[in-house]
Amino acid sequence: MIKVAKFGGSSLASATQFKKVSNIIFEDDDRRYVVPSAPGKRYDGDTKVTDMLYMCYNVAGKGGDFDLILREIQERYQEIIDGLSLNLSLDQEFSEIHRQIDNHAGIDYAASRGEYLNGILLANYLNYEFVDAAEVIFFREDGSFDDEKTNNNLGKRLNKTKRAVIPGFYGMAPDGSIKTFSRGGSDITGSIVARAVHADLYENWTDVSGFLVTDPHIVENPEVISTITYKELRELSYSGATVLHGDCILPIRREGIPINVRNTNRPDDEGTLIVESTCTKPKYTITGIAGMRGFVSINIEKDMMNTEIGFGRKVLQVFEEYGLSFEHTPSGIDTFSIYVHQKEFEAKEQQVITKLNKLVRPDSIDLESDLALIAVVGRGMRRARGTAGRIFSALAHAHVNVKMIDQGSSELNIIIGVEDKDYEAAIKAIYDIFVTTQA
């Protein structure tokens, strides 16, 4: 069995955190490939090493003196080295970094050094081989990730070593320069490594014990989701809240490798397991509740519209022309509504309405703003009769006025439109009926 363990910045922010990581690694012999982020914040108000590196780059770009910042970065690493009593000096590495930044190395080079150095440090501490990502992760000339080349090289390289640390976030461009993924890209590196070594599990160690059933700003201490499918995850990502870097899912999803999101600070918590599919009966009927504010609904009324072939297409065409993507299109008998993001819509409002009037000649168009959408997601909903009934009874009980309901073919989710003022009450009510009162 092979497990790839990726550790986030806060998991590797200090010597204390490194010790936790080491305990985790050595607790399970299968954790053979480790992907570290750069040291993150040790406390609220602390600065991430990556942000300090960006500062170096910016100061250097303006011809300023970045010595002081770079020395502060080295101190952060030295503090970890001292805390772990490692026999390791990063002097040479820091001279090289100083030289490169002086010589106008790119921003990606600067940014990537946090992971690079942390990788050297972690490999030394764990006594794992250090494999520089620049040797195994490749980008194309256009800047996109070179999937095939990476997979071939990385697989071969890691086959030669039983235990290795591969720093996250970066790789090499065809010209030999360093190139990074987008911010948070260590998740992607972990996923790429997991695929290359045909891992059985990709562990993503963070500072949370997995995905929460809903937004902790709305519900106090919401439960952790124990198992979630990729599909459910995607439906929940609706809310914009993400723990994982979105792009990290695709490579290993194709391989059927599950992801386990775990908490370095609470290693006994089982975290959230993300899988392609599962027979595991979910603990609750619903897996999660996600929501988003800031929608406007454009309600179009026209007598006999459903006999008018092309009506819906024309309506959507107007929105397309103005570059507006829509979220939902609930319809009644003579009504057709379009839910769009209020911010995107506002500037184009009058043009869209004028065009709609011209193109579909509706009886009326009316706008309703300050709406929120809530997605109640769960593979268990298919099995459980009465889910919709429970949701809407709970909302009624909470005095929430339901503006829109949309449940499509997936039966994985029900989308509910409510007024902004009812948004939090609605989420609380749904959480309570499915989780609190079931616990």
Per CB under 8 A, the list member of 108, 146, 223, 235 interacting with its own copies is 235
CA–CA gap between residue 65 and residue 72 (Å, rounded): 13
Instruction: Tell me the closest approach of the beta carbon of residue 359 to its own copies, in angstroms.
Output: 12
Stretch touching its own copies by CB under 8 A, among 25-33, 109-117, 258-266, 328-336? 328-336
Residue linked to tokens 């794992």: 128
Per CB under 8 A, the list member of 200, 327, 420, 432 interacting with its own copies is 327
CA–CA gap between residue 201 and residue 270 (Å, rounded): 13
Instruction: Tell me the closest approach of the beta carbon of residue 248 to its own copies, in angstroms.
Output: 15
Per CB under 8 A, the list member of 310, 354, 370, 438 interacting with its own copies is 310
Instruction: Tell me the closest approach of the beta carbon of residue 237 to its own copies, in angstroms.
Output: 8
**326 in contact with its own copies (CB under 8 A):** yes
Q: What are phi and psi of 145, to 5 degrees?
A: -70, 130
Contact by Cβ (8 Å): 394, 432: yes
Stretch touching its own copies by CB under 8 A, among 18-26, 142-150, 256-264, 314-322? 314-322
Residue linked to tokens 């260590």: 186
CA–CA gap between residue 360 and residue 318 (Å, rounded): 10
Contact by Cβ (8 Å): 275, 227: yes
Q: 183, 37, 44: which is closest to 108 by C-alpha?
A: 183
Show the site string, 336-355: x = touches its own copies by CB under 8 A, - = not: xx------------------
Rounded to 10 degrees, the C-alpha dihedral 150/156/157/161 comes to 140
CA–CA gap between residue 226 and residue 211 (Å, rounded): 8
Per CB under 8 A, the list member of 226, 335, 357, 369 interacting with its own copies is 335
Show the site string, 352-371: x = touches its own copies by CB under 8 A, - = not: --------------x-x---
Contact by Cβ (8 Å): 181, 394: no
Strand (E) or helix (H) holding 368? strand 364-377
Residue linked to tokens 């829109």: 404
CA–CA gap between residue 439 and residue 11 (Å, rounded): 30
**308 in contact with its own copies (CB under 8 A):** yes
Q: Which of residues 401-430 bind its own copies (CB under 8 A)?
A: 401-415
* 7 annotated ligand binder: yes
Per CB under 8 A, the list member of 394, 418, 426, 435 interacting with its own copies is 394
Q: In what order do the strands lie in the sheet with 201-206?
A: 129-130, 164-165, 31-36, 3-7, 201-206, 259-263, 272-275, 227-229
The helix/strand/coil state of 418 is: strand
Buried/exposed code over 30-48 (b: 16+ C-beta within 10 A; e: otherwise): ebbbbbbbbbbbbeeeebb
State the angle between helix axes of 49-61 and 67-83 in degrees (0 to 180), rounded to the nearest 10.
160
Per CB under 8 A, the list member of 78, 124, 330, 359 interacting with its own copies is 330
* 206 annotated ligand binder: yes
Per CB under 8 A, the list member of 140, 254, 397, 421 interacting with its own copies is 397
Q: How many residues bind its own copies, per CB under 8 A? A: 66
Instruction: Tell me the closest approach of the beta carbon of residue 285 to its own copies, in angstroms.
Output: 12
Query: Which residue, 4 or 400, has its beta carbon nearer to its own copies?
Result: 400
Query: 106: how many CB neighbours lie within 10 A of its CB?
Result: 16
Per CB under 8 A, the list member of 316, 353, 359, 425 interacting with its own copies is 316
Instruction: Tell me the closest approach of the beta carbon of residue 219 to its own copies, in angstroms.
Output: 21
Stretch touching its own copies by CB under 8 A, among 30-38, 114-122, 153-161, 394-402? 394-402
* 8 annotated ligand binder: yes
Query: Which residue, 198 or 399, has its beta carbon nearer to its own copies?
Result: 399
Instruction: Tell me the closest approach of the beta carbon of residue 323 to its own copies, in angstroms.
Output: 6
Instruction: Tell me the closest approach of the beta carbon of residue 271 to its own copies, in angstroms.
Output: 24
Q: In what order do the strands lie in the sheet with 288-301?
A: 326-328, 335-341, 288-301, 364-377, 413-419
* 50 annotated ligand binder: yes
Per CB under 8 A, the list member of 32, 76, 195, 390 interacting with its own copies is 390
Residues engaged in binding its own copies (CB under 8 A): 231, 234-235, 238, 297, 299, 301, 303, 306-310, 312-313, 316-317, 319-320, 323-337, 366, 368, 375, 385-397, 399, 401-415
Residues making up the binding site: 6-9, 50, 115, 206-207
